[in-house]
Amino acid sequence: MTFFQTDAKLARALADRNYTSATPVQSAVLAEESQGGDILVSAQTGSGKTIAYGLAVASVVLSAAERRDAREPAALVVAPTRELALQVERELGWLYKYASARIVACVGGMDARLERRKLSEGADIVVGTPGRLRDHIERGGLNTAGLAAVVLDEADEMLDLGFREDLEFILEATPPERRTLMFSATMPKGIAALAKRYQRNARRIDVARGERGHADIDYRAVRVAPNETELATVNLLRYFEAPTAIVFCNTREAVRHLHATLLERGFSAVLLSGELSQHERNHSMQALRDGRARVCIATDVAARGIDLPNLGLVIHAELPHDTEALQHRSGRTGRAGRKGVSALLVPASRRRRAERLLADAGVVAQWSGPPTAEDIHDLDQTRLLQDPLLTQAESEEDSRLARLLLAERTPEQLGAALVRLYRSRLPAIEQVVDPGQEPERRERAAAGPAASRRGGPDRRPHAASLPGEATWFRLNIGRKRNADPKWLLPMLCRRGNITKQDIGAIRIFDNETKVEISERVAAAFIANMALPSGDSIRAERSGAPTAPRRAPSPDGSKRSPKPKRD
């Protein structure tokens, strides 16, 4: 069976979605030799397997849909997470739109009574998570006597999540003559044992072999200094500017910390971790789907089964534990023919482990340092020139206002204002180094151990000197509220509308922080800091302007005078 040989109603739905050719997994599952029997499919996430098994069970589903008085479902799909189950329900919903098949989702966190009511009204396909499906079977809400096909989607993840007993219960509650279709990105021993016990002469289809690295995924291995993982993450997000990106960490604490860091730097970001309630999780997912958030920070477990629209970038802020995790993480991008990027951040101490992971996964990655500020500035310039604000046709009202502005300002002034407006909506860029480049390492060593510890002289939180006079400001935040130059510096630039070159020393105390600001921008800085914002950080002058400080001599004998205090 191919797309063009399927039922006319399904073919119409496929045509609506511009499905013209089958993916490798779809071709294999729909091949004549795979029809009617059990299959064990090794296929990556995003390979098109939902449509594959949706078409594979079409004959029994359409037959059941024609019997309007039928109450027993013909097909059951079991998925590891709520998000994946609901995604499958949506995919099968449009596929069977013109066939009028009834599809019911049964997942944890939803109203079980409403689900039982829908099941009692009749369903042709039931999609659910193992625990909720078992609960409905035990309570008599789900009748499995008429099931002709059972699909286990992402079976390896269900075993990893501890659903073996639930899966065995569900399979044993279904008719022995059923057809069983098992899909798994990897084939550990547990999957082989499950297939041997519950499938009959299953045909093995290995689509993943030879394509484990995903042809549509561009793998990058990014060398980072030990203390610059967060900074490199910021620059990668700014460099690729993906419509949606996901950043993986290995612990909940790391997720929370990185989420706070990205929010402070101006990214629209949400987090996914096991601590979230279902309502909070749904809110985060909806923000990503409707574009209110563009970055998701998550752990492996929390991100299982999610499918993000237009996901163009996956960042491994911490290396995955094994090749299976690498494949599951990376497989969330490069889907449906779209290109994606999977970037691993690799400190020098983890390089050998990263190389082993990539080799075991059959992936060839491009090694490089993190994107530099200059790289990102160049891209920002290109993106500005291609921005829809400049390329879309103007309305009559736009033209009228433009003429009014030109009467008051020069074209150069208006162009500069447009550039400032464009930059104001962009998160700050970080100064990073490539630890794999020997010349830069030697320069850092020559700058002294203190500079090396801070990642290089260009990103020191304490500037050597400021041109002209400087003014000290006091911030109402200190060590007790986790004040740190790593996020204070970009926050001051963004809130105060100044540059890093306008900021001198930063001194953090228990309950306050003192910051040295160039007198040239001091008035604008205090005015901008007083504007409403999403945080409670306030700034006030802490002293009169001070004279320029002398830069220390090479031997360190000349020291800058201490700033005046109140």
CA distance 428 to 562: 30
The winner for highest mean pLDDT among 45-54, 146-155, 398-407 is 146-155
- What is the Cα–Cα distance from 328 to 351, expressed in whole angstroms? 21
Task: Give the tens place of pLDDT for each residue, 12-36.
Answer: 999 888 887 888 888 889 888 888 8
DSSP string, 305-327: T---TTEEEEEESS--SSHHHHH
**Is pLDDT at 213 greater than 50 in this prediction?**
no
Measured CA to CA, the distance from residue 213 to residue 330 in angstroms comes to: 9
Cα–Cα distance between 233 and 315 in angstroms, integer? 7
Q: Which residue has the higher pLDDT, 82 or 460?
A: 82
Q: What is the pLDDT of residue 433?
A: 84
Sign of the dihedral through C-alpha 332, 106, 29, 180: positive
- Contact between 54 and 91 (Cβ < 8 Å): yes
Q: What is the pLDDT of residue 552?
A: 46
Output the six-digit token pair for 86: 């609901």
At 546 the three-state DSSP class reads strand
- From the number of C-beta atoms within 10 Å of its C-beta (0-12, 13-18, 19+), residue 143 rates as middle
pLDDT band at 390 (very low <50, low <70, confident <90, very high): confident
Domain residue spans of the chain: 3-206, 217-372, 375-424, 461-566
| Residue 488: closest CA among 421, 476, 317 | 476
Residue-wise pLDDT for 442-487, tens only, equals: 444 444 444 443 333 333 344 445 767 888 999 998 887 778 887 7
User: What percentage of the chain's residues is helix, strand, coil (to nearest 5)?
Assistant: 45, 15, 40
SS (H, E, C) 373-439: HHHHHHHHHHHHHCCHHHHCCCCHHHHHHHHHHHHHCCHHHHHHHHHHHHHHCCCCCCCCCCCCCHH
User: For 400-547, where are the E strands, in sequence order?
Assistant: 470-475, 503-508, 513-518, 539-541
Please list the alpha-helical segments (H only) found in 21-153: 24-29, 49-56, 58-66, 82-95, 112-121, 130-138
pLDDT of residue 553: 44
Residue with structure tokens 């400190």? 347
**How many CB atoms within 10 Å of residue 388?**
6
Contact assessment for residue 183 and residue 53, using Cβ atoms and an 8 Å cutoff = yes
Most confidently predicted of 119-123, 439-443, 508-512: 119-123
CATH superfamily of 217-372: P-loop containing nucleotide triphosphate hydrolases (3.40.50.300)
472 SS3 class: strand
- The packing angle between helices 252-264 and 485-496, to 10°, is 30
Helices (H), 75-228: 82-95, 112-121, 130-138, 155-160, 164-172, 189-198
- Mean pLDDT computed over 112-139: 94
What's residue 428's pLDDT?
Answer: 81
Domain 461-566, CATH 3.40.50.1000 — does that match? Answer: no
CB atoms within 10 A of CB 218: 17
pLDDT at 4 over 60: no
Task: Give yes or no on whether 3-206 and 217-372 have one common fold.
Answer: yes
Residue 425, pLDDT score: 77
Domain spanning 3-206: CATH 3.40.50.300: yes
- Cα separation values, 205 from 23, 37, 303, 565, Å: 14, 12, 26, 74
Contact 326, 320 (CB under 8 A): yes
* pTM as predicted: 0.58
